[in-house]
Amino acid sequence: MAAAPVTPAPVPAPAEDSPRARLAALRQEVGKAVVGQEAAVTGLVIGLLCRGHVLLEGVPGVAKTLLVRTLAASLDMGTKRVQFTPDLMPGDVTGSLVYDARTAEFSFREGPVFTNLVLADEINRTPPKTQASLLEAMEERQVSVDGTPRPLPDPFMVIATQNPVEYEGTYPLPEAQLDRFLLKLLMPLPERGDEIEVLTRHAHDFDPRDLAGAGVRPVAGPADLAAARAEVARVQVAPEVLGYVVDVCRATRTSPSLSLGVSPRGATALLATARAWAWLTGRDYVTPDDVKALAHATLRHRVQLRAEAELEGVTAETVLDGVLRTVPVPR
């Protein structure tokens, strides 16, 4: 299975002003600044459609930050970036009470989490206390400070990044927090042709800090996303497909290579992402192939390998490949 979460499939031409058409235009618009990575763009759109959060993993320099900024610009949404470091405090993320000497009162100063797309850069470089500061925001869509809940904007999504090759001085996310992420998307190094295109653009004065100069414009907005979510909610799922989702997740719990299988929350996540993918490809029903297409991206971070399996070179990807091969597919 390739590292990309989903393989873009040919889709029927939707009506030009439909929510599906507007979201489909994102791939072309993001491509004005980011070369390749179409699968990651699709995964982020699926995360937005499912009201989920996304974990992006890739080596430095594969345009993770640029991708998020370009997606926000294409969707006419706000975005803020937080660089997670060992000395970052929870209040630096959520906001805190600040004393105003003029009024002799405390007032709440919003943190960077109060936006549409939050880029939590290198989330595993900050201690668990600060990592956990995102949990309420991710699950409840609110932040509580001094006992007062404060709602976050809608839409709202946390996009956290991790570096897969450098673990010194990091704090790995616990399984309970990993399970809060709807998808884990892998951003691979570009193909040779894509890398040549990147250098060609820079040779012609492309500035990644000037998205407007690159021609990036909003092609959809929060209203289109809300309409799209309503359409995704109407996508039908046959009982046989529901059973297939459950069987795939249950098979991970009995795998001899895993010490932790997929929880029921993971099963509901796989159902949600498969419905969104079915809608994006122009259908109002889910097939087993939709489940297979999103299984790796939705489940790879929800399983834990046994130590002996890791020593033998087994990976979460190979385990999921085996599960998808062995679980009977409904006809």
**99-116 residue pLDDT tens:** 877 887 888 888 899 999
**291-326 residue pLDDT tens:** 999 999 999 999 999 999 888 888 999 999 999 999
Mean pLDDT of 222-229: 92
Q: How far is CA 206 from CA 3, 36, 74, 276, in A?
A: 28, 16, 18, 34
**7-55 residue pLDDT tens:** 545 444 455 678 888 888 888 888 888 888 888 989 999 999 999 999 9
What ranges make up the beta strands (E) of 164-263?
183-186, 258-260
Q: Are strands 304-305 and 258-260 parallel, antiparallel or unpaired?
A: antiparallel
Angle at the Cα of 214 from the Cα atoms of 211 and 219, rounded to 5 degrees: 70
Q: Which amino acid is at 29?
A: E
Rounded to a whole number, what is the distance in angstroms from the first to the last CA of the chain?
A: 23
Locate 132 and state its tokens: 């956990």
Most confident of 144-148, 211-215, 271-275, 327-331: 271-275
What ranges make up the beta strands (E) of the chain?
54-57, 79-83, 95-100, 105-110, 117-121, 142-145, 148-151, 157-162, 183-186, 258-260, 304-305
**168-205 residue pLDDT tens:** 667 888 888 888 899 999 988 888 998 898 899 889 88
> Which of 25, 33, 6 has its CA nearest to residue 209?
33
**Is the per-residue pLDDT at 6 higher than 70?**
no
Distance CA 102, CA 99 (A): 9
Chain-centre distance of CA 119, in angstroms? Answer: 10
**Is the per-residue pLDDT at 208 higher than 90?**
no
Angle at the Cα of 31 from the Cα atoms of 26 and 37, rounded to 5 degrees: 95
Instruction: Look up residue 40 and give its DSSP letter.
Output: H
Instruction: Give the per-residue pLDDT at 1.
Output: 40
Listed range (144-153, 257-266, 268-277) with the worst mean pLDDT: 144-153
Q: What is the dihedral of CA 110, 113, 117, 118, to 10 degrees?
A: 130
